[in-house]
Amino acid sequence: MFANFDFSVIAASLPYLFGQGMVFTVTLTALAASGGIVFGTALAMMRLSGIPGVTHAAKLYVELMRSLPLVLVIFWFYFLVPYIGAWVTGSTTPIQVGAFASALVTFTLFEAAYFAEIMRAGIQSISKGQTAAASALGMSYWQTMRLVVLPQALRNMLPLLLTQTIVLFQDTSLVYVLSLTDFLGAASKVAQRDGRLVEMYLFAAVVYFAVCFTASLLVRRLQARVAIIR
pLDDT at 229: 46
CA distances from 6 to 12, 23, 33, 59, 96 (A): 11, 25, 37, 52, 42
Domain count, the chain: 1
Q: Is 215 among the domain residues?
A: no
* Torsion angle (degrees, nearest 10) of CA 175, 177, 178, 182: 30
Domain assignment present for residue 188? The answer is: no
pLDDT in tens, 40-76: 989 998 888 888 888 999 999 999 999 999 999 998 8
Helices then strands, counting H and E runs in the chain, come out as 10, 0
Q: Among 133, 161, 140, 159, which Cα is nearest to 44's?
A: 161
* CATH code of residue 71: 1.10.3720.10
Is residue 89 in a domain? yes
Taking the C-alpha atoms of 42, 104, 31 and 145 in order, what is their torsion angle to the nearest 10 degrees?
0
Phi, psi of 194 (to 5 degrees): -100, 0
Cα–Cα dist 116/120, whole Å: 6
Does any domain span residue 3? Answer: no
Q: Domain limits at 92?
A: 23-177
**Three-state secondary structure call for residue 23:** helix
Query: Looking at the domain assignment, is residue 228 inside a domain?
Result: no
In a domain, 46, yes or no: yes
Which pLDDT does position 3 carry in this prediction?
58
pLDDT, one tens digit per residue, over 71-96 is 999 988 888 878 877 787 777 788 77
Domain-located, residue 220:
no
Q: How many CB atoms lie within 10 A of CB 56?
A: 12
Per-residue pLDDT at 227: 61
Q: Which residues of the chain have pLDDT under 70?
A: 1-3, 226-230
Within 10 Å of residue 198's Cβ, how many Cβ atoms? 12
Given 3-state DSSP classes, what are the helix, strand and coil percentages for the chain, each rounded to the nearest 5?
Answer: 85, 0, 15
CA–CA separation, 9 and 197 (whole Å): 11
The answer to whether residue 17 is domain-embedded is no
